[in-house]
Every structure is written in C-alpha cells, then in structure tokens.
Amino acid sequence: MISWTNFDELSSVKKLESAAKVDLTKEMAGENGAARVAKYSVPMSNGLAYNFASKQVNDEILGALADFAKEAQLTEKFQALYEGEVINTGEKRLVLHQLTRGQLGKDVVAEGVNKREFYVAQQEKIAAFANKVHSGEIVNEKGEKFTTAVQIGIGGSDLGPRAMYLALENWAKKNGCFKMEAKFISNVDPDDAALVLNSIDVEHSIFVLVSKSGTTLETLTNESFVKDALKKAGLDASKHMIAVTSETSPLAKSSDYLAAFFMDDYIGGRFSSTSAVGGAILSLAFGPEIFARFLNGAAAEDKNSTNADLLKNPAMLDALIGVYERNVLGYEATAVLPYSQALSRFPAHLQQADMESNGKSVNRFGEPVNYVTGPVIFGEPGTNGQHSFYQLLHQGKNVIPMQFIGFRNNQAEMDVDIQGSTSQQKLCANVAAQIMAFACGKVDENKNKNFEGNRPSSIIVGDKLTPEVLGALLAHFENKVMFQGFAWNLNSFDQEGVQLGKVLAKKVLAHETDGALKAYSDLLNI
C-alpha cells in the first residue's frame, strides 16, 4: 500500500539531519580520496557511470538515504507510475513517457487502448514517413527532395528535441547518418521565425508543427508566420507541413498537413523527447534507426531506475543526494556542467525538466508544504563555463552543488595535438581538475587566492556521446526529477504556475486591463 507522505513527516529525515556533515577537503585528500572515487560509483547503462565521490556524503549518510528511499517508497511509487496509476493528481492523468521507450511493468490500458502499442505504432508511422522523405518518395511540389526540417514548437516541444538534435549532429555527420539539417522556431517574437526563414531554403524545407493541445498560441502564431512565408514563395503550405499533436486536437484531422503523428495527455511536454514530439524531427534528421537507438538507451536506463537498492539505482541516488543538499545542507541552486559541446543545450532542457516539475509549493494534494523543493538549475558546457561563472562557484559566498558530465572520447574524431596533449585530453583534464579544485580547495595566505573547497560535485562519465548514451542520460535526469518529486510529495507533472500569465496576456491583447497592467501595456505600446 503506497502512502503519499510529506517530506517532513518521514522519520528517516531526522537521521539525515543528525548525521555529521562531510568535509570534502578532508575526505577527498590523499589515498582516502582515491578510494572514494573507486567506491562511490554506480554503473549506469551503455557504459556510463554515476560517480559521487565528491559529494558531501559518507556511508552513514548513504545509509540514511537508503532508509529514506524505503520509507518514502520511491520504488513502489515509480512502479505505480509506469503501471498506469493516476500519478498526475492535479490534471488526473497517467504519466506514461517511459512507455514510449519500453515496458517496465504490466500492460497499461487506458480508454481501451494498450498505450505501449499506441506509442510504438506512432513510431512506426514516423519511421515510414521519414524513410519516404529520405528516399525521395515524399517530395516537394517540384518533385525534389526535402533538405531541411524545421520544428515549430515551444517549451517541451522545443527544448528537449533541440538539445537532442544538437547532441547528435556531430556524431551523425561523422557516422554517415546525417539525413537533413534541423532548425527550430519557438519564440513568439517574430524575429525568431524571421531569422530561421532567412537562413533556409523554404522550397526544400519540411515543417514539423508540434502542439499537444493544438491550441498553443505561440506555436499557432509561428505556424501562420511560416504559412505566410510559404505562400509568398508560391508554395502550398499543406505540402510542406506535418503535425505532431494529440488525436483529439484540431490539428489531428486537418488537410493542412502532409501527415499527423500523435502523442497524448499522458506524455508531459517536458518528458516528450522520446515520444512523437522528438521522434518526428530526430527521425527526419538522423533516420528512424538512430531514433530507435536513442530510445533503447533510455529504456536501459529506465530499467536501472526500478532497482530498489539505492546504491544500484543511479537516478534515485542522484535524486536523494540532491534532496540532502537542498533540504539538509540548504543549497538553493544546482549547476549542470557537461564537458561536451554537443550538450550545449542540455542544461536548458534540464532547466525546464527540473524547475517546471518541482518548482512547487504545494504537495500532490494541493496542501502547502513547509520545506524547500526544486532548486534553480543552470549551466553551460565546460570549458566555456570555466571562463565565465566558475569564479562564483569556486569563491562565491554560497555553495552551488554541481553535476558534471564527461566523455573519454569526442564525437567528430577530429583532434589536434598541441603542447603534448590533444584537445580531448585537455577537456578531460579540465573536468578532473575542476572536481578536485572544488572538493579540496587550496590554502593560501593571500586570501584572494585562497580556495575553501568543500564544494560538492558528481560526474557522469561515459565513453562517447552516442544515441544510446544520450537516451540513457535523458532518462537518468527525467527519473531523477521524478524521484525528487516523490521525495517532496509533489505532483511533478502539472504546471499550474504558467496559467496566470496566459490569462493576463489575453486580457492585455483584448485591452481589458486597468491599473498597473494597463500602465505596463501602455508602456509597451500594446
């Protein structure tokens, strides 16, 4: 029997709070540090490992976290989710994004449909469509092949798919599976669409309109913008556009599109990269086989997340160390720092996945909670970040926990040797050096050159960023967010916080405002 209990009502939290704090400057020094690097590592799928040696934990704290995981029934809650309980209590919806990439438990049937079969059928439809585009069976009005795919979507229909595309672009080019360039239009700022349209050959472009409800104002506006441009170029928009939407949306049956592919209400936007939302654009860009490999990676990592043993469940462990940092140690933000240029927009995707899921002040029953919840998430790729905001991470007044990601090999397999090492070696040397600089610091009599250390970080290490590895990384962080939501007793799958702004924006556009809202509207000449 699952009990949904507030974080501060769980008795294991007391043990966590009373455990002596870990000082990394001591723990990570000398051979003890080396032993921690060897010991505090959890294998992930696809050759990845989650190494948490430089986190402020020890066996006692890990024991308390394991007790917490049991008391909070994290494994049981995950099982309830993937077996189709109404986990999204606010919107009364199932939460089924894991089903887009595998089947972890018993069949989930909703409204008479086996949902795994439904998602697989959509993937097969997308695969067939993408193959026809690549083979030249589906072509533009002149009978010429499409060369560019442009996603029109915002939020989860943009950040995840865009981050995934950028993550595999170099890899696909190197490995002979780069089929089409992808571009993305998201912002309602007309300059966004204008810049993209100016940079492409519209005649050979296929547009992927993504909106679950079919009513997202930004996306419909950009659709109009694009249709206008196609019309001006003398092209038939309906021959250049596909839709990714829900079966019940106004876009689903429209003759305005070459084809429509479906997700449903059980796939939250920020968890939709492995559904048709990511599937259409990634299958067009790299081919359906590559998208399938990406899904396989995610499925393998989902499986790790079902393990009830905390020390064999990297997403759960990552989640609970984060909860310890947030609620016991009091840290407010987390930096995501991939040492991989391909992951340049992965932090922006995680920013949504995490902050929109757990940036909440009420529990899953709508009752205010008395403890802090999701942190601020931000980040840029290393080594760029080192030359930017790391100063504050090293010597600022607040401690910001860090989440590094690193790979032993680069994707493009082009490199250069200078001063006795390759670029890739320099990249890896930097991430190793940073972890240790943060953990151990350095004592200097000149206090301006003094580093206090004891600044915690973890690293996920892999061999190379392939489609499988990317899928595993994505699933790891999705599941981390989910486990944190369970720990805080939140509903991580709604986003009521975005509603008020929408309502007020409509009032502004209808000129139904007074007071300060009217004053701001006047200021902006609306």
Task: Provide the annotated active-site residues.
Answer: 356, 387, 502
In contact, 471 and 102? CB cutoff 8 Å:
no
Site string for a copy of itself, 287-326 (x = CB under 8 A): ----------------------------------------
The only residue of 1, 142, 176, 416 in contact with a copy of itself, by rule CB under 8 A: 416
Q: How far is the CB of 350 from a copy of itself (least distance, A)?
A: 10
237-276 binders of a copy of itself (CB under 8 A):
269
Shorter beta-carbon distance to a copy of itself: residue 41 or 122: 41
Q: Which of 2, 30, 309, 312 is close enough to bind a copy of itself by CB under 8 A?
A: 30
- The residue (of 21 and 449) whose beta carbon lies closer to a copy of itself is 449
Contact with a copy of itself (CB under 8 A) among 109, 391, 443, 512: 391
Please list every residue from 77 through 106 that binds a copy of itself, using CB under 8 A.
Answer: 90
Asked if 443 touches a copy of itself (CB under 8 A), the answer is no
From its phi and psi, is residue 155 left (phi > 0), alpha (psi between -120 and 50) or beta? left
Distance between first and last Cα of the chain = 55
Window contacting a copy of itself (CB under 8 A); options: 14-22, 139-147, 248-256, 424-432: 424-432
59 near a copy of itself (CB under 8 A): no
Query: Which residues ranging from 347 to 386 are in contact with a copy of itself (CB under 8 A)?
Result: 348, 351-352, 355-362, 366-369, 371-374, 376-378, 380-384, 386
Return the residues of window 199-228 that contact a copy of itself according to CB under 8 A: 217-218, 220-222, 224-225, 228
CA 403 to chain centroid: 14
What is the smallest separation between the CB atom of 112 and a copy of itself, expressed in angstroms? Answer: 30
**Residues 6+ away with beta carbon under 8 Å from 103:** 116
Per CB under 8 A, contacts with a copy of itself among 156-195 are 156, 158-159, 169-170, 173, 186-195
**If you ran DSSP here, which 8-state letter would residue 439 be given?**
H
Question: With the C-alpha atoms ordered 124, 126, 128, 131, is the resulting torsion angle positive or negative?
Answer: negative
The smaller minimum CB distance to a copy of itself, of residues 102 and 385, is found at 385
Q: Which of residues 20 and 418 has its CB atom nearest to a copy of itself in the complex?
A: 418
Distances (CA, A) of 2 to 32, 304, 307, 309, 446: 40, 21, 17, 18, 56
Tell me the number of residues near a copy of itself by CB under 8 A: 160
Stretch that binds a copy of itself, among 122-130, 275-283, 294-302, 491-499 (CB under 8 A): 491-499
Q: Give the residue, chosen from 16, 28, 152, 180, that forms a contact with a copy of itself under the rule CB under 8 A.
A: 28
* Coil/strand/helix, residue 149: strand
Q: Which two tokens stand for residue 408?
A: 């032993």
DSSP class of 155: G
Sorted by sequence, the CB contacts under 8 Å of residue 66 that are 6+ apart come out as: 310, 311
Residue 72 CA from chain centroid, whole number: 24
406 HSE (CA, 13 A, CB side): 23
Least CB distance to a copy of itself at residue 105 (A): 28
Report the residue from 103, 151, 273, 340 that binds a copy of itself according to the rule CB under 8 A.
340
Beta-carbon count within 10 A of 66 CB: 18
Do the beta carbons of residue 221 and residue 202 sit within 8 Å?
A: no
Where in 448-487 is the site for a copy of itself (CB under 8 A)? 448-452, 459, 461
Given 8, 18, 23, 38, the residue binding a copy of itself (CB under 8 A): 38
A 10 A CB-CB count for 31 gives 7
Rounded Cα–Cα distance for residues 433 and 406 (Å): 12
Question: What contacts 470, CB < 8 A, 6 or more positions away?
Answer: 164, 167, 168, 294, 297
Within positions 120 to 159, which residues make up the interface with a copy of itself, using CB under 8 A?
154-156, 158-159
Q: 116 or 240: whose CB is closer to a copy of itself?
A: 240
CB nearer to a copy of itself: give 24 or 138. 24
Does residue 290 contact residue 34 with C-beta atoms inside 8 Å? Answer: no
> Considering only residues 2, 233, 392, 443, which one is a binding residue for a copy of itself as defined by CB under 8 A?
392
Q: What is the DSSP letter of 362?
A: B
- Longest Cα–Cα distance in the chain: 73
Residue 169 is which amino acid?
A: E
List the one residue from 53, 66, 163, 260 that touches a copy of itself (CB under 8 A).
53
| Backbone dihedral angles phi then psi of residue 391, each to the nearest 5 degrees | -50, -50
**Which tokens hold the place of 497?**
């916080």
Which lies closer to a copy of itself via its Cβ, residue 144 or residue 463? 463
* Shortest Cβ 104–a copy of itself spacing (Å): 27
Among 146, 390, 477, 483, binds a copy of itself (CB under 8 A): 390
- Contact call for residue 430 and a copy of itself (CB under 8 A): yes
* Binding residue (CB under 8 A) for a copy of itself from 8, 124, 141, 496: 496
The interface region with a copy of itself, picked from 75-83, 259-267, 280-288, 331-339 by CB under 8 A, is 331-339
Contact criterion met (CB below 8 Å) for 427 and 433:
no
List 205's β-bridge partners, or say none: 148
Peptide bond into 215 cis (omega under 30): no
Integer Cα distance of 427 and 407 in angstroms: 9
Among 101, 394, 476, 480, binds a copy of itself (CB under 8 A): 394
Minimum distance between the CB of residue 27 and a copy of itself, rounded to whole angstroms? 9
Residue corresponding to tokens 């939302």:
277
